[in-house]
Amino acid sequence: MSLQSSPLVYLFLETSILPAQRTFFESVLELPLIEIEPHMPHHRHGVTKYDAGKVVLSLNLTGPSRFTKTESDALTTVLVEAGGVASAVDRLRAAPELGVVRDEPSSALFTDRNGHHFRFVDEDARTETRESSPIVARFHLAIADLAASLEFYVGRLGLALIERDHRRALLATGSIDLELEERKTAVDGRRPRTATSLIVFHTTDIEGTTYALVERGVAFRSHHAGFSEIGGTIRFDDPTGNRLCLYQPSDESLTWGSGPKVLQIVAGRAVAG
């Protein structure tokens, strides 16, 4: 058993500036809000969740001490902009208080005030898009060593290699692609940070999948999955320290606002809108 056909269902991003992050997702990106945690401020995980095509973007609330000016995320969320990169740039520059936008050849990089990165690219033939809002095309990870990362993602997790060169590789998951780039800095030149994002793989049998991955050489942060009202979860890291998670949703969680989207993603029927 491997993760070859397992979809990425969630990306969790930690934030200390929830109103600004919500403005970015809801008013600038215009992503559909599909769930709000009803027990705030006691529950600070999955505070808001958004339909981003073939993955759900979600925010966790944390304190400002998690963020420093010398660091930013090793992860970049790559979004296809149906209206073109110029349209994304115009919307981002209309809200400079949310972060910094940088024009690049055929793309634009936006870094928010918590150091989360979002790269906007033009629509391509491989990606279905909704008419107006951007959707996630892939996740890009800055990694320390490409060979070690490929041994982990392909050799241990079982993901399929689509293409590679001397410092980059593109991998397929059961939903969106995962891009690896060997580099010493985050995409904005700061020291790469791995502790404020979490990529979540779906599984229908978390205990069986965990056991199989341990047999393939994956080291988990705990010996057994933890279970709660959301279902079962267990975390692990790639060789660079990027945080990953296995998730088996509970029947109850699939009745919540994000449940139908998760079911669409798992069934391979998730579309942009």
Other C-beta atoms closer than 10 Å to the C-beta of 89 total 18
User: Does the residue 1 lie in any domain?
Assistant: no
Q: Token pair of 17, please?
A: 């500036």
The single-letter code of the amino acid at 237 is D
- Is residue 90 pLDDT above 80, yes or no? yes
What CATH number should be reported for the domain holding residue 124? 3.10.180.10
- CA of residue 235 relative to chain centroid, distance: 14
Contact 160, 144 (CB under 8 A): no
pTM for the model stands at: 0.94
Contact 50, 57 (CB under 8 A): yes
User: Does the residue 55 lie in any domain?
Assistant: yes
| Distance of alpha carbon 120 from alpha carbon 28, whole angstroms | 13
What is the band of 1 on the pLDDT scale with cuts at 50, 70, 90?
confident
Q: How many CA atoms lie within 13 A of 180 on its CB side?
A: 30
Query: How many domains are contained in the chain?
Result: 1
User: Does the residue 273 lie in any domain?
Assistant: no
Domain encompassing residue 171: 8-267
What is the band of 42 on the pLDDT scale with cuts at 50, 70, 90?
low
User: Does the residue 240 lie in any domain?
Assistant: yes
| Distance of alpha carbon 266 from alpha carbon 250, whole angstroms | 14
User: Does the residue 272 lie in any domain?
Assistant: no
Which position has the token pair 């349209």?
87
Q: Which of 55-59, 80-84, 235-239 shows the lowest per-residue confidence on average (mean pLDDT)?
A: 80-84
| Distance of alpha carbon 33 from alpha carbon 134, whole angstroms | 14
| Distance of alpha carbon 74 from alpha carbon 190, whole angstroms | 9
User: Does the residue 86 lie in any domain?
Assistant: yes
Per-residue model confidence (pLDDT) at position 109: 97
pLDDT tens digit sequence for 187-233: 999 999 999 999 999 999 999 999 999 999 999 999 999 999 999 99
User: Does the residue 60 lie in any domain?
Assistant: yes
User: Does the residue 25 lie in any domain?
Assistant: yes
Average pLDDT over residues 236-259: 97
What is the band of 43 on the pLDDT scale with cuts at 50, 70, 90?
confident
Per-residue model confidence (pLDDT) at position 272: 47
